[in-house]
């Protein structure tokens, strides 16, 4: 590795940001590296848990702990240094006070409280600002934060497991397990990075799943959201047994007794009905964003999956495909049904990877 090349420092900052990913939500995961004029590492850091220090402050503290001067350094940071007084102080002022003379940032912060003001403040203080290196990777890492800030809804990633012929179950309904252990373990990693795991009452009643993260080093449990139009979630379901995990139930009915029973178990129950007496899914996503949800991981049956698809609420498909032919039965085909080809929404392949004996296909809705 060429440690004098600026891209190398940004790669290091991105690697730090990745370390922040499990702990920073709802804040974006950001990494920062301070480099001396002679090209030496002076300090580095990443975003801490919400309410605690941002990446830049951690890097400045690291420099102090190592006894390194920060005057004249260049800061490589994966997001625009903040300009606002939030739960923590403005990072751009901290960088200026430390004598940093150049900032290389991957992206502008989409948070309206920052949105270019950090760069403006740095430039006004005489700091040279370069924007762009590492932008794609930095954005991907914080895709949910960008979605919430720019669109007011979380990034919705729908996970499905299917056969080669796109079936999600045998004709007799049996679906455990189509994909391999390795693919299911990979699915856990995606669950773990989400803020919310979303499922439907059909899956709860049929499979009685825990819907939790079962990785040994899990830093936190994503909240569980259940789309339950008629408030049928059983108080005895296994999902209530996951300690320290928030559960939110979206319903279309007012049923004080059942609502009380679920609230006693710690759930937040939200009523949001559409005109057909179903849960209004678009409103639900906006409500989740208002509660600082960046990424939603959907693991549901074909009914809820299909509704989300038809309403264009799915941004990304995470599809595990097993080399098996299952024949007629419920399947991916049921998620969309269109009469002309130009009505069918277009997906763009993002990434295709073998996982054990299966394939992992990631696709993003065109234009998202």
Give the nearest distance from C-beta 7 to ligand AOF in angstroms. 20
Q: Which does 28 bind (CB under 5 to 8 A by kind): Zn ion, ligand AOF, none?
A: ligand AOF
Give the nearest distance from C-beta 86 to Zn ion in angstroms. 8
Q: In what order do the strands lie in the sheet with 41-46?
A: 41-46, 31-35, 74-77, 102-105, 128-131
Nearest alpha carbon to residue 168 among 194, 125, 136, 207: 207
Among 53, 59, 82, 194, binds Zn ion (CB under 5 A): 82
- Told to judge if 128 belongs to the known catalytic residues of this protein, a careful annotator would answer no
CA separation for the pair 87, 109 (Å, rounded): 16
The residue (of 91 and 169) whose beta carbon lies closer to Zn ion is 91
* CA–CA distances in Å: residue 249 to residues 188, 223, 244, 288: 22, 11, 16, 11
Is residue 91 close enough to count as binding Zn ion by CB under 5 A? yes
Q: Residue 244 — φ and ψ, nearest 5°? A: 70, 20
> Hey, CA dihedral for 68, 72, 74, 75, is it positive or negative?
positive
Please give the biggest Cα pair distance in the chain. Answer: 69
Q: Is 172 annotated as a binding residue?
A: no
Size of the site for Zn ion (CB under 5 A): 3
Give contact residues for ligand AOF (rule: CB under 6 A). Answer: 27-28, 30, 47, 54-56, 79, 81-82, 86-88, 91, 109, 111, 114
Q: Is 172 buried (19+), middle (13-18) or exposed (0-12) by CB count in 10 A?
A: exposed
The catalytic residue among 18, 40, 56, 346 is 56
The residue (of 93 and 315) whose beta carbon lies closer to Zn ion is 93
Q: Which does 87 bind (CB under 5 to 8 A by kind): ligand AOF, Zn ion, none?
A: ligand AOF
Give the nearest distance from C-beta 117 to ligand AOF in angstroms. 11
Give the nearest distance from C-beta 39 to ligand AOF in angstroms. 24
Segment near Zn ion (CB under 5 A), from 41-49, 86-94, 129-137, 305-313? Answer: 86-94
Q: Which does 86 bind (CB under 5 to 8 A by kind): ligand AOF, Zn ion, none?
A: ligand AOF
The residue (of 145 and 320) whose beta carbon lies closer to ligand AOF is 145
Looking only at the bridges linking them, the beta strands covering 74-77 and 247-251 are unpaired
The residue (of 82 and 252) whose beta carbon lies closer to ligand AOF is 82
CA separation for the pair 205, 222 (Å, rounded): 21
Q: For residues 177, 162, 196 and 344, what is the CA-based torsion angle, rounded to 10 degrees?
A: -160
Helix (H, G, I), strand (E, B) or coil at 14: helix
Structural contact between residues 304 and 160, judged by C-beta atoms closer than 8 angstroms:
no
User: x/- string (CB under 5 A) for Zn ion, residues 35-74?
Assistant: -------------------x--------------------
Nearest alpha carbon to residue 118 among 72, 86, 153: 86
Q: Is 302 annotated as a binding residue?
A: yes
The residue (of 138 and 313) whose beta carbon lies closer to ligand AOF is 138
The residue (of 10 and 82) whose beta carbon lies closer to ligand AOF is 82
What are the DSSP calls for 272-299, one per residue? -B-TTSSB-HHHHHHHHHHTT--EEEE-
Q: Is 132 annotated as a binding residue?
A: no
CB count in 10 Å sphere of residue 130: 13
Q: Is 334 annotated as a binding residue?
A: no
User: What are the residues whose beta carbons fall under 8 Å from the beta carbon of 150, sequence distance 6 or more?
Assistant: 110
Is residue 17 close enough to count as binding Zn ion by CB under 5 A? no
Structural contact between residues 328 and 166, judged by C-beta atoms closer than 8 angstroms:
no
Q: Which residues are annotated as a binding site?
A: 54, 82, 91, 161, 175, 177, 191, 203, 207, 214, 229, 299, 301-307
Q: Which residues are annotated as a binding site for substrate?
A: 175, 191, 203, 214, 299
Q: Which residues are annotated as a binding site for NADP(+)?
A: 161, 177, 207, 229, 301-307
Q: Which residues are near Zn ion by CB under 5 A?
A: 54, 82, 91
| Active site members | 56
Q: Which residues are annotated as a binding site for Zn(2+)?
A: 54, 82, 91
């Amino acid at each position: 590795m060429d440690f004098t090349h600026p891209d190398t420092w940004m790669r290091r900052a991105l690697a730090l940001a990745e370390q922040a990913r499990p702990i920073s939500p709802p804040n974006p995961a950001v990494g920062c590296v301070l480099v001396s004029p002679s090209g030496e590492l002076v300090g580095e850091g990443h975003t801490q848990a919400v309410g605690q220090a941002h990446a830049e402050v951690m890097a400045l503290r690291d420099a102090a702990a190592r006894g390194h001067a920060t005057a004249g350094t260049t800061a490589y940071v994966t997001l625009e240094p903040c300009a606002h007084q939030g739960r923590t102080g403005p990072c751009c002022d901290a960088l200026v006070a430390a004598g940093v003379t150049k900032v290389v940032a991957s992206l502008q912060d989409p948070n309206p409280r920052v949105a270019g003001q950090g760069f403006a403040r740095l430039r006004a203080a005489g700091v040279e600002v370069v924007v762009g290196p590492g932008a794609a990777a930095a954005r991907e890492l914080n895709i949910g934060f960008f979605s919430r800030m720019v669109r007011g809804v979380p990034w919705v990633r729908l996970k499905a497991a299917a056969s080669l012929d796109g079936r999600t179950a045998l004709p007799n309904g049996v679906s455990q397990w189509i994909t391999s252990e390795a693919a299911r373990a990979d699915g856990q990693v995606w669950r773990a990075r989400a803020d919310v795991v979303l499922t439907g009452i059909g899956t709860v009643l049929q499979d009685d799943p825990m819907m939790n993260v079962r990785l040994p080093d899990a830093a936190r449990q994503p909240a569980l959201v259940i789309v339950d139009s008629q408030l049928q979630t059983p108080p005895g379901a296994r999902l209530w047994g996951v300690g320290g995990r928030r559960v939110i139930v979206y319903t279309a009915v007012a049923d004080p007794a059942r609502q009380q029973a679920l609230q006693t178990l710690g759930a937040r129950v939200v009523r949001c009905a559409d005109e057909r007496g179903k849960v209004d899914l678009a409103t639900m996503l906006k409500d989740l964003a208002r509660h600082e949800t960046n990424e939603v991981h959907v693991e549901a049956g074909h009914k809820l999956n299909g509704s989300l698809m038809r309403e264009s609420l799915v941004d990304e498909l995470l599809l595990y495909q097993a080399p098996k032919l299952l024949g007629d039965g419920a399947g991916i085909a049921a998620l969309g049904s269109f009469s002309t080809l130009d009505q069918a929404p277009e997906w763009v392949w993002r990434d295709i990877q073998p996982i054990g004996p299966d394939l992992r296909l990631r696709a993003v809705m065109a234009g998202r």
